[in-house]
Structure 1
Amino acid sequence: MNLFAQGIAWIFDPANNTGNNAILVRLGEHVTITLLTVAVAVVIAVPLGLLIGHTGKGRSVAVGLSGGIRALPTLGVLTLLALWLGLGLQAPVIAFVILAIPSILAGTYSGVEAIDRATIDAARAQGMTPWQVLGKVEIPLALPLIVGGIRAAVLQVVATVTLAAYINAGGLGGYAFSGLANSDYVEVLGGSILVIVLAIAFEIVFAALQRLAVPAGVSAGSGRQSRRNTRSSAPRASTPVEGTHP
């Protein structure tokens, strides 16, 4: 039996599904940390991104800060926070929020900036206030890119949450650390497979949510425009001129 098959067998071994170290327990911890982290990052980054995209101010600062945040080593930040705050969920949540913010922030202000300015001007010409323009025009049209930023953040976080086990905060990463400590590479592989499967599941869910976030009018308009472009690009049959012979 090869190592991969052994890893699959380890996942379905009843011995690994009981007690505090059960796979379902670790999986629940991993999902909880991931969703909690992304939720906090959304609360911080989405309003800030909407403000930047709506006003057009602070974009360069946001890009610079996002680039700086992306360069931070998550394991180093996690270790420093754990030494400062102690063991528990506080340190990993803060570290992973820092990791998630840039993608959500970029997706949000890019989504607002990508809206055709003629659409914004038309909304204002109808007497909409700035808040109405933001709530009824900009947010709905930017929502697909906002969800796309959240989707990217979720994938980054769900993979990195494995580091939470480094400070005994739970998650599927515990199998990697304990397996390495005991030279049990089947356990390491089994835990890795679980993380991969969880990441794929999140990708499928958020890809569907991003598709659903596209406004119906925008989808229909895009389809009509695509059909018009197809018709206009199709070669036209030549009409014979009267009096000519083939």
Structure 2
Amino acid sequence: MTLFMEALAWLFAPEQRMGVNGIPNRLAEHLGYTALSLLIAAVIAIPIGWLIGHTGRGRQLAIGLSGAARALPSLGLITILALLMGLSEVPALIVLVVLAIPSILAGAYAGVEAVDPSTVDAARAVGMTEWQVLGKVEIPLGLPILIGGLRNAALQVVATATLAAYIGLGGLGRYIFSGLSTRNFEVMLGGAILVAVLALVLEGVFSLVQRMVAVPTR
């Protein structure tokens, strides 16, 4: 309990609100890594997922590759990439994108596959082309499941983005690694609390968006 109170005191200390090492700046860096990684992963995974869901082809390959990507050790991969490419944002972003793709890909093709086949048949019966069926029927109806995939990816990326500090970058992980190295455990716990709170906030935001895009059933 004493350590927890010390962590709270550190979090609310006036000096934590300003400067390069202040919480607002580290939070902005963490959100930047997360948002950019999700954007890149979404650009890669969503079109592929929609194509798989619509055609039914390549699903097993996608599942296999996604499983392999999830099995990669993030810390080991970011270390190897940093040694090969240098200490920059690129290795961290590559790891976060690889981590985010499986959940987004699964959400994209599962959303399309979940659409009632009779609805798809009805759309074709009225003369819609395959692209129209995908764009006007399958994608809108599968959007809640896609948002769910994005939500899962966001939570994984937010937690793993702390590893950016391992190679000298910013983000909330700086508090965790610096607290560990200097044995300032209240700083380490404070950083962990910030990551957890950020994950809960993102969970709430994505859950709200998922409800908003859901098609009401009667």
* Alpha-carbon distance between aligned partners in 2 of 1:15 and 1:88, rounded to the nearest angstrom: 27
Name the amino acid aligned to 1:50: W
Show CA shifts across 1:119-165 (max 9, x none). Answer: 11100000000110010000000000000000000000001100100
- Provide structure 2 residue ranges, at least 5 long, that are not aligned to the other structure: none
Aligned to 1:79: 79
User: What's 1:153 paired with?
Assistant: 153
**Could you tell me which amino acid in structure 2 is paired with residue 53 of structure 1?**
G
1:127 counterpart SS class? coil
The structure with the greater share of residues assigned to helix is 2
1:232 corresponds in structure 2 to none
Q: How far apart in 1 are the matches of 2:178 and 2:192?
A: 13
In structure 1, C-alpha distance between the alignment counterparts of 2:100 and 2:36, rounded to whole Å? 11
Query: Displacement, 1:87?
Result: 1.3
In the other structure, the counterpart of 1:91 is 91
| Within-5 A mapping of 1:31-180 | 31-180=31-180
Contiguous gaps of at least 5 residues in structure 1: 225-246
Residue in 2 aligned with 1:202?
Answer: 202
Aligned to 2:7: 7
Code of the aligned partner of 2:15: A
**Aligned-residue CA RMSD (Å):** 0.9
In the other structure, the counterpart of 1:190 is 190
| Post-superposition offset of 1:17 | 2.5
For each residue in 1:59-96, what CA deviation from the matched residue of structure 2 results, as whole angstroms up to 9, or x when unmatched?
Answer: 00000111111100011111111111111211111110
1-structure distance, mates of 2:81, 2:211: 37
Report the Cα distance in structure 1 between the residues aligned to 2:68 and 2:62, rounded to whole angstroms: 10
Q: CA deviation at 1:18?
A: 2.7
Q: How far off its partner does 1:169 sit? A: 1.6
Structure number with bigger Rg? 1
TM-score where L is the length of structure 1: 0.87
Match of 2:18 in 1: 18
| Identity in percent | 58
Match of 1:237 in 2: none
Amino acid at match of 1:167: I
For normalisation by structure 2, the TM-score amounts to 0.98
- TM-superposed CA distance for 1:16, in Å, is 2.3
Q: Which secondary structure state, in structure 1, belongs to the residue aligned with residue 39 of structure 2? A: helix
CA distance in 2, matches of 1:156, 1:150: 10
